[in-house]
Chain A
């Protein structure tokens, strides 16, 4: 298992069902965390590390704000993009000064052609390792404008002993579901994990309680 300390100055972890009012989750879902880790190591095939287990915990309580965003949508095809009723203002919740702990475990990954995600992430945190990575784009969690500022191995994080961490961990009697796989075309392929936000420290959690990244095809063949 590998732990990361990640800072995001401004973030919004949009709820899947949010429409006109863009609510934020308190922390990124496992599927968002997985996408962030893939981006970090330059992997564009999201099925490459199926079976990885990952989750995020939020340190302290980020401040919450609501801003107005101008969004494009197609209501009238004759008007053209971004004109008239094809634009409307919507409210969006933002979190500021987001500090996260991310845990990743690759012991149950299906394919390991280029090394496990855990090995690749560990390599990307070294000067020598990152020089061999081919990747693109700003590193972000959620929207592309919500850029990640810092990623450090958790051992090198600033003194955090006094801080509380609320982490999403699996729990059969949980009260919180977050996606581990998102179907971007419809919603039938989206898979959720049932869990709970639990106050923990900075020690690695029990592996069996980390949500597992599984797409719908894998679930159907089982």
Chain B
């Protein structure tokens, strides 16, 4: 048998304005996609992985192999050759183990084969999608003359600029097969990092968007299909949560309720109560739910 850990996560309600270096005129835009027929804002899986790596670095005394250097605006590497992976008992970094790596070298001469060092990520993350459609909210602001070296270099006029913003929650999913890790205790560390995720999406200091879970649904199972991705909905524009589709799938027999551990805001909702009645382990807190999953992993691994 193989144990898989799946989770669907939804953040708290907040105001997102993710600056990702793209503008339309002087307005910073949000990344968007069509979701269930309406425009929703989205945050890439890579952005979530970036913040997860930062959190993993703070959890390990040896840090991570790759760290983002805020001063030089470049990635710093401890072992860019991924040396430890060549030996069975070699020293490896937690971020390489969980998030994978790829270092491809082209052939040096015509006719020769190139080489590649590749490790598939064990912790897989999906794109985050806003729980509610984007209504088109944009703020217009003005930087006063001389506020920054780049604003109003000449004259005394303020510099107007805009930012697309979205008051919403974001939901995304993860998958992990703990057996595939070089060090098994890293599975629990990965879940702790996700449970304590911080600033994935945000525009400088003005729009801090907390990406820690407000509610989380774990599934510990042998089933290769998660059957819970993007399962959160909202009956009232994002203020409260529901998971009607998840309840339906448990009732239909596609998900065994005993495989589910639910934590956070969903616990007190009708969906949370229904899941508890069906046999899911429902906790009030995110930390308690995460710990319950870590305990299950430890029990199976023992």
Contact = CB atoms under 8 A, between A and B. Distances in A.
Interface of A: 9-10, 39-40, 42, 63-65, 67-70, 74, 79-84, 89, 94, 96-97, 124, 130-140, 144-152, 185
Contact of A10 (B20, B127, B226, B227): B127
B227 A133 contact: no
Contacts of A145: 45, 124-127
Contacts of B230: 9, 149
Contact of B2 (A42, A82, A84, A96): A42
A74 B102 CA distance: 12
Pairs of residues from A and B, 3 with the lowest C-beta to C-beta distance, nearest first? A138-B175, A65-B33, A63-B34
B74 interface: yes
* Highest count of chain A CB atoms <10 Å: which of B6, B223, B254: B223
Nearest to B68: A82
Given A83-B75, A124-B224, A137-B122, 6 more contacts: A79-B74, A80-B74, A80-B77, A137-B120, A137-B180, A140-B124
**B contact face: mostly helix, strand, loop, or mixed:** loop
Nearest to A65: B33
Contact of A80 (B6, B75, B121, B254): B75
A133 B2 contact: yes
A146 B173 CA distance: 10
Contact of B124 (A135, A147, A149, A152): A147
A144 B126 CA distance: 8
B126 A136 contact: no
B136 interface: no
Interface string B131-144: 00000000000000
A149 B228 CA distance: 7
B86 interface: no
30 contacts: A63-B36, A64-B34, A65-B32, A65-B33, A65-B34, A68-B31, A69-B46, A81-B75, A94-B33, A96-B33, A130-B223, A131-B222, A132-B1, A133-B222, A134-B1, A134-B2, A137-B120, A137-B177, A138-B175, A138-B176, A139-B224, A139-B226, A145-B124, A146-B126, A147-B126, A147-B173, A149-B226, A150-B225, A150-B227, A150-B254
- The range of chain B's interface size is 35 or more
A138 B229 CA distance: 12
B103 interface: yes
* Highest count of chain A CB atoms <10 Å: which of B2, B36, B44, B180: B2
Interface string B211-241: 0000000000011111111100000000000
B224 A97 contact: no
Contacts of B302: none
Contacts of B122: 136-137
A67 B35 CA distance: 13
Contacts of B192: none
B124 A137 contact: yes
B133 to A, nearest CB: 13
A149 B222 contact: no
Nearest to A71: B46
A144 B121 contact: yes
A186 B75 CA distance: 30
B175 A68 contact: no
Contacts of B22: 68, 89
Interface in B131-178: 173, 175-177
A147 B224 contact: no
Contacts of B32: 65, 67
Contacts of B120: 137, 144
B113 interface: yes
Contacts of B254: 150, 152
A136 B180 CA distance: 7
B179 interface: yes
A136 B226 CA distance: 13
B25 interface: no
A25 B66 CA distance: 34
Contacts of B45: 145
A152 B21 CA distance: 41
Contacts of A134: 1-2
Contacts of A81: 66, 75, 77, 80, 103
A9 B229 contact: yes
Contacts of A124: 224
A79 B80 CA distance: 12
Interface string B109-128: 00001000000111011110
B37 interface: yes
Contacts of B290: none
